[in-house]
Structure 1
Amino acid sequence: MTTMIGRVYSQYQLQLSFKEQMMMSIRTFIPSLRRGFASSAILRSNTVLKVGYVPEHFSTPLFFAKSEGYYAQAGVEPEFVPYISGTGHMIQALNEREIDVAVGLTEGFVAGLGKGQDWYKIVGTYVQSPLCWAISTGINRNDISSIADLRGGKIGVSRIGSGSYVMPFVMAVENGWSEEFEFKVLTNFKNLRNGVNDGTADAFMWELFTSKKYYDTKEIKHIGSIYTPWPSWTITAHDTAIEAESATGAISKFFTAVNKGIKYFEANPETAVEYISANLDYTAADAREWMKTVKFVDDVAIVDKAVIVDKTVGILQKAGVITNEHVRTESFTFDVKS
């Protein structure tokens, strides 16, 4: 009997020990589970935003905002998607919902809106200074030595509707030309360089400092330049991102972080030079020279509609890029701050 009681008691002790162990495990697990839920909540509070950009020196403040943790602080997680072929491609990507936001050239975005591409709006300004478009031809094109030689010629462009397509019209207006260009769509900067050397195109237009390296290596020849008569870079968003803004605040959060990225860029010029020369296709000397010419905005959320939209539309109408003489521009912009 004593032995039987002992065995029962031992089993009871084992069962009790097991229950205590289970309770201890649960007590340990619950706080861990709560921490996990809390972490998930933090992740969910950061809104994902797909952002199209051109992988050039102008993108530097966007990535400083990332490296310095400004996006995380603002509660937004931008997923950057590069578009080497430029603004025209991003307009298409916005239409196909590949991206929510695009940072690109003012003339391309305004031209698209003026032609009825109504799936996006201009929501911000990125670069205040004008863009210097370099005009390039093939290194051995002895028949082309100046802008005057391009009258009625073959112009290489990345895409119809891109800045490289819009600016030749502005050049024609400035020079009083009425002849039409023959446009050759060559998709990207490399194909454009090849195109002017193999005779596919007589010339193309691209940003000066992006082109300069290839002047230095004698791959292409510089024959002139033209400046945009408007702030050069703006920010657009697809209508669905705009519609969701009141609930998510994603664009506003993105802008808060980008403003800080711009401030960091301006306060750390040598860090910017190091980043550009290490990550992009520029020498440190060219990066320093470019930084003397560029002025980013103080607040990307501000859009001066009279200058960025109305003035640009007027010039593009004169150039024949926008053929509708009665374009209504009221719906071209959206005020994120409102």
Structure 2
Amino acid sequence: MKKVNIGGVPEHFNLAWYLTLKNGEYKDKDINLRWHDYYGGTGAMCKALRSGDIDIAVILTEGIIKDIIAGNPSKIVQTFVETPLVWGVHVADKSSYNKVEDLKGTKAAISRYGSGSHLMAYINAENHNWDLEKDLDFEVIKNLDGAVEGLTNGDADYFLWEKFTTKPLVDDGVFRRIDNCPSPWPCFVIAVREDFINSNKKDLQTILDIINNSTVDFKNIPSIDRTIANRYEQQLEDVQEWLSITEWSQSLIDKKTIMTIQKELFALNIIPEVVDYETLTHKL
């Protein structure tokens, strides 16, 4: 049985992976797919792809593009979630900041440099016409628990994270969400180490076929909203809202979108150059 390591964030977006694993669908095809939760998000998964700890990552689009350009020996093989990620702009509940403009020049908590929370802080700053050199400052907090500690203690002033994941913290009075900042592109892609693609094309295609078969009908799974609410400790109405605005994909991200993302990252000085579509993607 072929062992394959895959990583992703332990969030509701990835429930389809959990369900297909629980059903033994990969083992039925002689694949021992091992899921690894990455609480540190995109930056941690980029590091794991580089080191070979994982073969596949379900990862933020802008983060893996940045890291492939920086030398990560991986390729995007498919879009996973077609719709944008809605990032909440959060402050500590007792913070004196009430609107995004109050945050200009203050310190953003980020999981690590090159992470989604880091890149989206730039997008948020650009959206509000801030000076990207003078008005941005960062505090590395590793993960969501670190953000709670950092904002509560005043080590950082605000934090961008997926709004439905952080909603329980808002409901509990730990964070206040003062704005939303949607990513201007499909949020999650499936990235695979090049050496794995080259030596395991058949197994990779089988894995994608199984997950795509699940995501294409994901919203029609009976009581899926209640399953998500219970598993991720979220309010049912929040889950229903999230399901209504989220669409999965079963195809490779297109050239136009890749170029749009790169132009944005280049303009923000996040990547040093814009590269060819084929440098970032692999069509199976």
Deviation at 1:269, TM superposition (A): 5.0
Q: Distance in 2 between matches of 1:68 and 1:264?
A: 16
**Contact in 2 for aligned 1:155/1:204 (Cα 8 Å):** yes
Q: Which residue of 1 aligns with 2:281?
A: 333
How much is the aligned-residue C-alpha RMSD, in angstroms?
1.6
User: Can you give the 5+ residue segments of structure 1 that lack an aligned partner in the other structure?
Assistant: 1-43
Q: Which residue of 1 aligns with 2:82?
A: 128
Deviation at 1:325, TM superposition (A): 3.9
- Bigger Rg, structure 1 or 2: 1
Q: Distance in 2 between matches of 1:206 and 1:269?
A: 29
Q: Which residue of 2 aligns with 1:258?
A: 211
Q: Which residue of 2 aligns with 1:175?
A: 128
Greater helix fraction, Structure 1 or Structure 2? 1
Deviation at 1:328, TM superposition (A): 4.2
**Contact in 2 for aligned 1:49/1:250 (Cα 8 Å):** no
Deviation at 1:281, TM superposition (A): 3.4
TM-score scaled by length of structure 2: 0.94
Corresponding position: 1:304 with 2:233: no
Equivalences for 1:1-338 in 2 at 5 Å? 44=1, 47-114=2-69, 116-142=70-96, 144-178=97-131, 179-246=134-201, 249-268=202-221, 270=223, 272-297=224-249, 299=250, 301-307=251-257, 309-322=258-271, 324-336=272-284
TM-score scaled by length of structure 1: 0.79
**Contact in 1 for aligned 2:5/2:55 (Cα 8 Å):** yes
Q: Deviations over 1:95-147 (max 9, x none)?
A: 11110000011111112123x223111111100111100000111111x1111
Q: Distance in 1 between matches of 2:78 and 2:6?
A: 13
**Contact in 1 for aligned 2:81/2:187 (Cα 8 Å):** yes
**Contact in 1 for aligned 2:262/2:274 (Cα 8 Å):** no
Percent identity of equivalent pairs: 28
Change (3 A) 1:326 1:305: closer
**Number of matched pairs:** 282
Q: Distance in 1 between matches of 2:79 and 2:222?
A: 21
Deviation at 1:174, TM superposition (A): 1.5
Q: Distance in 2 between matches of 1:269 and 1:289?
A: 17
User: Can you give the 5+ residue segments of structure 2 that lack an aligned partner in the other structure?
Assistant: none
Query: SS of the counterpart of 1:330?
Result: helix
**Contact in 1 for aligned 2:5/2:54 (Cα 8 Å):** yes
